[in-house]
Amino acid sequence: MFKASLRRVLVVALALLPVAAVQAEDPPLVRAQNSVRVLNEIMQAPDKAVPQDLLRDAKAIAVIPDMIKAGFIFGGRRGEGLISVKTREGTWSNPSFITMTGGSIGFQAGVSSTDVILVFRTQRGVDSIVNGKFTLGADASAAAGPVGRTATAATDTQLKAEIYSYSRSRGLFAGVALDGSALRIDYDANAAIYGAGITPRRIFDGGVSNVPGPVVDFRDRLEEYTSR
C-alpha cells in the first residue's frame, strides 16, 4: 500500500516538472521583452522596488521573468532571463542570456510562476558567471534583499551578502532566499542573438554588433534606472 502510494506521488512529481520546463522556454527575443517588462513594472513602484543605491552600486543585475516552480513532495524550478554587468566605464553591458534552475523537497503541489531579480554586489559572482555557471550560496553568498527607496534598513546578514535576491509572485515583491539555485550561461540563446562562438566575456566587453532592439532595451532600461 505504502509503495503504491509512493509510486503515485513520484509519477505526479515527474509529470509536473516537464510542464515547468516547457512553459519557461521562450524564444530569446521574447525573453528579452519579458525581462524589460518585469524590470519596468518593479522599478516603477519605488516604495516596493530594489533600492536605488543598490542598483547604482551593483556589479551585475540579472532578471529572470516567469520562473516556473512545479512539484509534489519533490519540486523543481526553472527560468530563463538576461544578465548585464557593469563595465569599466561604469555603464551597463549588453546582456547575456542565462538559465536558472533549482530543486527542493517538502510538501508542495502545483505549478507557480515567479519573477526573479538578482543584484550582484561584488566582482566574485560576476567572474563566476562569466566562466559559465555558479550556484547561489556556494560560489557566492546570497540573501533576500531589502526593499524600498534605500538599503538603509538592511540587516547584518544582508549587508554581508554578495548577491541580493528578489522575487515577485501574484503582485507581491519581496526579498527571497534562493540558495542552491544554479545560474548558467545560455550559450544557445546567445548564439541565436549574437552569432555562433560569441563568449559571455566578449558580450560584456562590447565586442558584438547589430544587437536586436529588445536586447538593447534591457541595457538601456538599466542605465535609466541606475542613473536616477
Most confident among 15-24, 41-50, 198-207 (mean pLDDT): 198-207
Confirm if 183 and 162 have CB atoms less than 8 A apart. no
Question: pLDDT tier at 107 (50, 70, 90 boundaries)?
Answer: very low
Determine the pLDDT at residue 127: 86
Q: What is the pLDDT of residues 181-221, one digit of tens each?
A: 888 999 999 999 999 999 999 999 999 999 999 999 999 99
Cα gap 53→152, rounded to integer Å: 9
Question: pLDDT tier at 70 (50, 70, 90 boundaries)?
Answer: low
Nine-digit cell string for 58 = 551593483
Looking at 86-122, which runs of residues are DSSP E strands?
Answer: 96-120
Confirm if 84 and 64 have CB atoms less than 8 A apart. no
Q: What is the pLDDT of residues 75-92, one digit of tens each?
A: 566 889 999 999 999 999
Domain positions in the chain are 2-226
The answer to pTM > 0.95 is no
- Give bridge partners of residue 136 from the DSSP assignment: 140
Q: What is the pLDDT of residues 145-181, one digit of tens each?
A: 777 655 554 554 556 788 888 877 755 555 555 667 8
**Burial group, residue 148, by CB count within 10 angstroms (0-12, 13-18, 19+):** middle
Question: pLDDT tier at 47 (50, 70, 90 boundaries)?
Answer: low
Cα gap 45→11, rounded to integer Å: 42
